[in-house]
Chains A and B, each alone.
Chain A
Amino acid sequence: MHVLFVDDDTMNRRVVRDMLEIAGVKMDEAADGPSGLALIESADYALILMDLRMPGMDGLTAIKHIRERNDAKAALPILVVTADTSLDIRERCIANGADDLLQKPVAMNSLYEAMAMTIANRAQAKAS
């Protein structure tokens, strides 16, 4: 399995990469929205992990770009990973095209579960 994590914080990327390595998942990483979008062009990911607060293009804008695509990649499962605890943050993410949201700090099991759930829900929606 191959996923992409877009987050401007080096430490965050490192932690998630190491966690995913244990689970046997290969992770590509991008430090900002545009670099993430460029990687999506060239690879087939099972899932996108997306931070929200990034300098320049923020996560929600990047998600919007993905959802506006005309190909199959528009339906990529996208899981937001954020330290933002605003009350309406989940609603805002989902309204902007994210599948689900995971709150930082990220625990290993909840990361796996949330990723699995996001992929499974997309697959089930596709099957039905």
Chain B
Amino acid sequence: MRAVLTAILLAALPLTSITAQAQSTSSDIADAETAFDHAIGQAKRAVMSSPQDALRHATEAEALSEGDPIRAATAKWLQSEALKRMHRIADARTQVREALNVVEQGAENTKLHGDLLKALAGIAKSEGDYALALRSLHEAHDIYAEIEDPRSQAIVLQQTGSIYIDASQFEKAIDYYNRAGTIWNDDIALDLARLNNVANAEIELGRYKQAVEGYSAALAIAEKIDATQLRAQILTNIAHAQIGDEDYLTARSTLDQARALTQTEEGEGWALFVDGVDAELAFHLGDIDQARHLLERMFEGIPFDETDMLFSDFHELGYKIYSQIGDTDTALLHLKAFKRLDDEARNVAASANTALISAEFDFATQKLEIANLRAETLEQEVEIRESQARQRMVVFTSAGAIALILLVGLSASYVSIRRSRNKVRDANEQLSETNVELERALKVKSEFLATTSHEIRTPLNGIIGMTEVLLRGGKLDESTYDRLDAIHGSSQTMKAIVDDILDVSKMESGIVTVTPEEFALAPALKDIERVWRDSAANKGLSLSLTADDCPARITADPQRLRQIAFNLASNAIKFTEAGEVSISCHTDCGDEADWFILKVTDTGIGIPEDELERIFEPFHQVDGGTTRAQGGTGLGLTICRNFARAMGGDVTVTSTSGEGSEFTLRIPVGISAGKIGASTDINALAIEPNLMKQHLIKALFKDREETLVCCDTLEVTQQWLAENHPPVSIILSASSLGQSVGDGMAAMMALRKTAPETMIIVFCDCDWAQPPMMKLSGANKVVDRAFDPTALLGALADEDTENGVKTA
């Protein structure tokens, strides 16, 4: 729950800055106090309690600076701190900028420079300029590090952490807070802020137990400094974490402690948030009435459209509570307020994130620079050593003694041995660094591929989708249709390539999933034939499909099977210039498993014997030249084999160069009774013009014994009935029969005459259609409402009784 947490953040941080300023104040006003120092001292003391006075003193101080630019800058800094607290942000920024201009001219980094940058960061953050805030914090941090002021360094690190919180990057935020704690842990106010804020982040990450621990440590500090409202706030946070951890009993007693603190004058401002978390607890315990009562009390007198981030989660809770008790209006009000705050938070997170991304990019560049620098230093060291060795040579030779020349030789070789040892050690270090970097690079690569795939899919969705809409929805002339069809084909190919690359990347990581399910074989095979028939015909090839000896349904991974069959068919057509491509399948029932075998045979260019295994390697095609001529990623067969093996089977190939190839897929499957195409009679017929409803009826019939045909119109139905045996049942909407009672009844009677034994189910979806008339004209079952899945299921289930279905 971010709301409560932010409150602590805001409450705790100013506290730290009070301490910060108070300390620097006491050390600065030492001996020999001038009028200027006196004014500065007064300004510093007044900053928190009375910014107006502070501004006055700081302005006096500027007048007393006697042309000393650093003194003037100090006065300006205090003016800006006062102005910021008076909410005159633009003026505050001007003062900081002017002071910074002066300070930056100085040769040495000073605490004042760091403080000014820290002040600028605060102003920038409050204006939403996260990029500037981060930059200023980094600079301030480096300055504090240089002048060895770890306390200020820790404050700056905490502030950086709070920007990561704004950006919802909680792990990184925790990192920064922890670094702050490592650098400086000698200040209880800073520790309290750090512990509480880390716990906030833990909650966001769902680590409630750690959060409770962190809050408890913060609470101990708050108790030590006897800060009643802070204690109430932290206790509320603890209760919230305990609710998250489903430890409702402890949460109850924590909340009671928090509530006791809000009975005091100092803590009463927090009472409404105790109510809020109390409502949350009641909601989780299923006591909706109590939850509503508490939430109502919390929001008493607070207009929903003026709430701030503190209330965001309580609006979400409100939405849940009120929609559960059916008070839709209030639920919607809460939802609207939640959305407004959610949008605000999102904007903040977005701009914070943008700033962080560019800042992190800077870090990455810096890292690279460091690596380069290190390499340069290494080279320089080697050079220095070499020149040292040379110098020694010079020294020794100048001694001029032969015996000494011998010594020189020894010492030179000693140096060179040591040098090469150093080189080996350095090389090893570099190697292990390179390995770590490589590992990281691999991880980055797969993340990059996943993101790219996501980002490519989104516009591809627009291209493929809109092309389909145009192809299917509009009246197009032939040439426009052909061109659109070409776009459609290209976009499908592009989609296949994106899929291939992603599949191979997943395989590289060693992850292939197989999800077996029972499915009907015939539609899957027909689909393959349908997709490739045109491509084959365009090349003058014939494409045949034989599946006579197959079961009607098998259990395997339909997606993977389809993908393999598609790839094999696509390859066969791609590499065949004349003749035919045939797809055939059968099953082979063995002792240990039943196998499904699919063969794709072509009369194409074939594959030389020494290439037969290599074609399954990634990016490999037999003739380098054909890669360009035939297109494709060269990944298809790699993917096929990997999937087949993941399913417990394999893809193999036999081929005669110049005559053709035969690819065989063999996978173990579960076989269901019943042969493919055994029952060719249509048992059910639906008249339904609406495409979506056709799909719905098909989906409802998926698990039924009957096979179903859908007809768009009455005319198509009549034609179908003239050519086929009457079905067992007909499902139709009255509106498809005609526009008036007369037409409708006549059409129904005609249907009845054509199919005397058929069960006719009719949905009365238009004004003229009344159940008695439908019955009279020959319908068996009449549903007195428009088609919907439940009504159809009811009508089909009640074949003998008339229950649940309105009759005449």
Q: By the criterion CB–CB under 8 Å, are B461 and A25 in contact? A: no
Identify the interface centre among A12, A25, A112: most chain B CB within 10 Å of its CB: A112
Q: By the criterion CB–CB under 8 Å, are B460 and A119 in contact? A: no
Could you give, for residues 556-570 of chain B, a 1 whenever the CB lies within 8 Å of some chain A CB and a 0 otherwise? 000000000000000
Q: By the criterion CB–CB under 8 Å, are B346 and A116 in contact? A: no
Q: Which residues of B contact A35 (CB under 8 A)?
A: 339
Q: Which residues of A contact B794 (CB under 8 A)?
A: 127
Q: By the criterion CB–CB under 8 Å, are B495 and A105 in contact? A: yes
In-complex Cβ contact of A70 among B324, B339, B460 (8 A): B324
Q: Is B402 an interface residue (CB 8 A)?
A: no
Q: Is B435 an interface residue (CB 8 A)?
A: no
Using known A-B contacts A85-B502, A120-B700, determine if residue A126 contacts B335 with beta carbons closer than 8 Å.
no
Q: By the criterion CB–CB under 8 Å, are B450 and A107 in contact? A: no
Tally the A-B contacts, defined by beta carbons under 8 Å.
159
Using known A-B contacts A22-B469, A23-B690, A41-B331, determine if residue A56 contacts B458 with beta carbons closer than 8 Å.
no
Q: Is B691 an interface residue (CB 8 A)?
A: yes
Q: Is B625 an interface residue (CB 8 A)?
A: no
Q: By the criterion CB–CB under 8 Å, are B692 and A1 in contact? A: yes
Q: Which residues of B contact A16 (CB under 8 A)?
A: 465
Q: Which residues of B contact A12 (CB under 8 A)?
A: 458, 461-462
Q: By the criterion CB–CB under 8 Å, are B468 and A19 in contact? A: yes
Q: By the criterion CB–CB under 8 Å, are B458 and A41 in contact? A: no
The residue in chain A whose Cβ has the minimal distance to the Cβ of B288 is A70
Q: Is B343 an interface residue (CB 8 A)?
A: yes
Q: By the criterion CB–CB under 8 Å, are A55 and B460 in contact? A: no
In-complex Cβ contact of B464 among A14, A84, A105 (8 A): A105
Q: By the criterion CB–CB under 8 Å, are B690 and A24 in contact? A: yes
Interface residues of B in 756-798 (CB under 8 A from A): 788-790, 793-794, 797
Q: Is B590 an interface residue (CB 8 A)?
A: no
Q: Which residues of B contact A113 (CB under 8 A)?
A: 695, 698-699
Using known A-B contacts A38-B336, A56-B345, A124-B793, determine if residue A18 contacts B473 with beta carbons closer than 8 Å.
yes
Using known A-B contacts A37-B335, A108-B472, A123-B700, determine if residue A24 contacts B692 with beta carbons closer than 8 Å.
yes
Interface size on A, residues (CB 8 A): 56
Interface residues of B in 698-749 (CB under 8 A from A): 698-700, 702-703
Q: By the criterion CB–CB under 8 Å, are B326 and A116 in contact? A: no
Q: Is B486 an interface residue (CB 8 A)?
A: no
Could you give, for residues 82-122 of chain A, a 1 whenever the CB lies within 8 Å of some chain B CB and a 0 otherwise? 01111100000000000000011111100011011101111
Q: How far is the CB of A54 from chain B (nearest CB, A)?
A: 10
Q: Which residues of A contact B585 (CB under 8 A)?
A: none
The residue in chain A whose Cβ has the minimal distance to the Cβ of B345 is A56
Q: Is B6 an interface residue (CB 8 A)?
A: no
Alpha-carbon distance A112/B688, docked complex (angstroms): 15
Q: Is B418 an interface residue (CB 8 A)?
A: no
Q: By the criterion CB–CB under 8 Å, are B324 and A123 in contact? A: no
Q: Is B612 an interface residue (CB 8 A)?
A: no
Where chain A touches its partner, the secondary structure class is: helix
Q: Is B624 an interface residue (CB 8 A)?
A: no
Alpha-carbon distance A122/B752, docked complex (angstroms): 33
Q: By the criterion CB–CB under 8 Å, are A87 and B691 in contact? A: no
Could you give, for residues 466-498 of chain B, a 1 whenever the CB lies within 8 Å of some chain A CB and a 0 otherwise? 101100110000000000000000010001000
The residue in chain A whose Cβ has the minimal distance to the Cβ of B469 is A18
Alpha-carbon distance A77/B474, docked complex (angstroms): 30
Q: Is B696 an interface residue (CB 8 A)?
A: yes
Q: Is B319 an interface residue (CB 8 A)?
A: yes
Q: Is B693 an interface residue (CB 8 A)?
A: yes
In-complex Cβ contact of A87 among B342, B495, B506, B689 (8 A): B506
Q: Is B459 an interface residue (CB 8 A)?
A: yes
Q: Is B511 an interface residue (CB 8 A)?
A: yes
Q: By the criterion CB–CB under 8 Å, are B339 and A83 in contact? A: no
Q: Which residues of B contact A107 (CB under 8 A)?
A: 464-465, 468
Q: How far is the CB of B307 from chain A (nearest CB, A)?
A: 15
Q: How far is the CB of A60 from chain B (nearest CB, A)?
A: 14
Q: By the criterion CB–CB under 8 Å, are A84 and B790 in contact? A: no
Q: Is B454 an interface residue (CB 8 A)?
A: yes
Q: By the criterion CB–CB under 8 Å, are B693 and A1 in contact? A: yes
Q: How far is the CB of B332 from chain A (nearest CB, A)?
A: 6
Identify the interface centre among A23, A105, A126, A127: most chain B CB within 10 Å of its CB: A105
Q: Is B633 an interface residue (CB 8 A)?
A: no
Q: By the criterion CB–CB under 8 Å, are B468 and A120 in contact? A: no
Identify the interface centre among A9, A37, A46: most chain B CB within 10 Å of its CB: A37
In-complex Cβ contact of B461 among A83, A122, A124 (8 A): A83
Q: Is B45 an interface residue (CB 8 A)?
A: no
Q: Which residues of B contact A119 (CB under 8 A)?
A: 696, 699, 789
Q: Which residues of B contact A53 (CB under 8 A)?
A: 454
Alpha-carbon distance A115/B466, docked complex (angstroms): 19
Alpha-carbon distance A108/B694, docked complex (angstroms): 14
Q: Is B290 an interface residue (CB 8 A)?
A: no
Alpha-carbon distance A88/B495, docked complex (angstroms): 21
Q: By the criterion CB–CB under 8 Å, are A106 and B461 in contact? A: yes
Q: By the criterion CB–CB under 8 Å, are A84 and B454 in contact? A: yes
Q: By the criterion CB–CB under 8 Å, are B457 and A32 in contact? A: no
Q: Which residues of A contact B320 (CB under 8 A)?
A: 65, 68
Q: By the criterion CB–CB under 8 Å, are A34 and B691 in contact? A: no
Interface residues of B in 130-147 (CB under 8 A from A): none
Q: By the criterion CB–CB under 8 Å, are B457 and A105 in contact? A: yes
Q: Is B323 an interface residue (CB 8 A)?
A: yes
Q: By the criterion CB–CB under 8 Å, are B692 and A115 in contact? A: yes
Alpha-carbon distance A55/B344, docked complex (angstroms): 11
Could you give, for residues 4-34 of chain A, a 1 whenever the CB lies within 8 Å of some chain B CB and a 0 otherwise? 0000010110111011111111000000101
Q: How far is the CB of B478 from chain A (nearest CB, A)?
A: 20
The residue in chain B whose Cβ has the minimal distance to the Cβ of A9 is B458
Q: Is B328 an interface residue (CB 8 A)?
A: yes
Alpha-carbon distance A25/B323, docked complex (angstroms): 28
Q: Is B513 an interface residue (CB 8 A)?
A: yes
Q: By the criterion CB–CB under 8 Å, are A116 and B323 in contact? A: no
Q: Which residues of B contact A24 (CB under 8 A)?
A: 689-693
Q: Is B338 an interface residue (CB 8 A)?
A: yes
Q: Which residues of B contact A41 (CB under 8 A)?
A: 323, 328, 331-332, 335
In-complex Cβ contact of A127 among B336, B458, B793 (8 A): B793
Q: By the criterion CB–CB under 8 Å, are A117 and B450 in contact? A: no
In-complex Cβ contact of B695 among A11, A21, A84, A115 (8 A): A115
Q: Which residues of B contact A123 (CB under 8 A)?
A: 700, 788-790, 793
Q: How far is the CB of A57 from chain B (nearest CB, A)?
A: 6
Alpha-carbon distance A114/B64, docked complex (angstroms): 78
Q: Which residues of A contact B457 (CB under 8 A)?
A: 83, 85, 103-105
**Can you give 7 contacting A-B residue pairs, CB < 8 Å?**
A24-B693, A42-B328, A56-B342, A84-B454, A87-B513, A120-B700, A124-B793
A: residues with CB less than 8 A from B are 1, 9, 11-12, 14-16, 18-25, 32, 34-35, 37-38, 41-42, 46, 53, 55-57, 65, 68-71, 83-87, 103-108, 112-113, 115-117, 119-124, 126-127
Q: Considering the complex of A and B, which 6 residue pairs feature the smallest CB-CB distances, nearest first? A: A15-B465, A123-B789, A116-B695, A120-B699, A34-B339, A83-B457
Given contacts A11-B458, A11-B461, A105-B495, 19 further A-B contacts (CB under 8 A): A1-B692, A12-B461, A15-B462, A18-B473, A21-B473, A22-B472, A34-B342, A35-B339, A38-B336, A53-B454, A56-B342, A70-B325, A83-B454, A104-B457, A106-B461, A115-B695, A116-B696, A123-B700, A127-B797
B: residues with CB less than 8 A from A are 319-320, 323-326, 328, 331-332, 335-336, 338-339, 342-343, 345-346, 350, 450, 453-455, 457-466, 468-469, 472-473, 491, 495, 502, 506, 511, 513, 689-693, 695-696, 698-700, 702-703, 788-790, 793-794, 797
